[in-house]
Amino acid sequence: MTLIVDDAGSGDLLFGVIVGAYREETGEFKYDLIDVRFYQDIFREKEYLQESSRVVSKLVSKFNLKADEAVHICQGCIFDVAAEELRKVYGEDRVCRIKVTGEAQRLVEIAYLDEIRNLGYEPLAEREEKRGKSFFHMMRWLKDNPEMLRYAKTGWPRLKNYHLFKKFHKENGYTATCTDCGIECEVPFQPQVDKPVYCPKCWSLRRAKRKRKKVAH
């Protein structure tokens, strides 16, 4: 028998990520959630990878795998840690990465759509084929329903370019003193005392100097 593990929602702006496990031979399906908070303030720490591993391990254990049963897990990077941990438990030969299609993919997708509908959002019918359009559709819905921003993946770095999400990224910044010019600046990482920190202007100047040196050589 084979157990297939897939996810839905990791590339979507709304809600967390659904992780589902489907046993082909029996049609059994179970799913769990990577909470949206892992894609908000702590997104940069990539703790969602460890949470994904925890969720997958919990799901797989519910199926009481047979001694010869294989686990096929989606190739997505969200499962990189989970796959390695599964191999430690079940062995290299029983765990493999695949591109998930068919019934397993369909069921996980349905679970995700049910969850975002529970928020009051109606997804686009063609969202799988038009990911860009779906992203902006969700963003417009959030603009109309700002109280639902608590269910958005506000930690994504690319969102800092949109006014709707700027406040979340400002709160996640760190104040530091530029090593070169001495002015106070904001950086998107925790400064360390033994490493230099540069403001945007000084960083650009240093990068330009490096490029000139490469050209000279």
Q: What is the pLDDT of residues 119-166, one digit of tens each?
A: 999 999 888 888 899 999 999 999 999 999 999 999 998 898 898 998
Considering the domain boundaries, does residue 157 fall inside one?
A: no
What's the pLDDT score for residue 174? 75
Q: Do 24 and 112 belong to one domain?
A: yes
What's the pLDDT score for residue 54? 97
- Please identify, among 151, 186, 206, the residue that sits at the C-terminal boundary of a domain: 151
- Give 172's pLDDT tier (boundaries 50, 70, 90): low
What's the pLDDT score for residue 10? 95
Considering the domain boundaries, does residue 160 fall inside one?
A: no
φ and ψ at 135, to 5 degrees? -60, -50
Percent of the chain with pLDDT over 70: 96
Considering the domain boundaries, does residue 6 fall inside one?
A: yes
Q: Do 191 and 145 belong to one domain?
A: no
Give me Rg for the CA atoms of the chain.
21
Which CATH number does the domain housing residue 21 bear?
3.30.420
Q: Do 127 and 76 belong to one domain?
A: yes
φ and ψ at 25, to 5 degrees? -65, -30
- The model's pLDDT over 97-132, given as tens digits with 9 standing for 90+, comes to 999 999 999 999 999 999 999 999 999 988 888 889
Q: Do 113 and 62 belong to one domain?
A: yes
Query: Which residue intervals of the chain are DSSP H helices?
Result: 47-61, 80-90, 102-118, 131-144, 166-171, 200-216
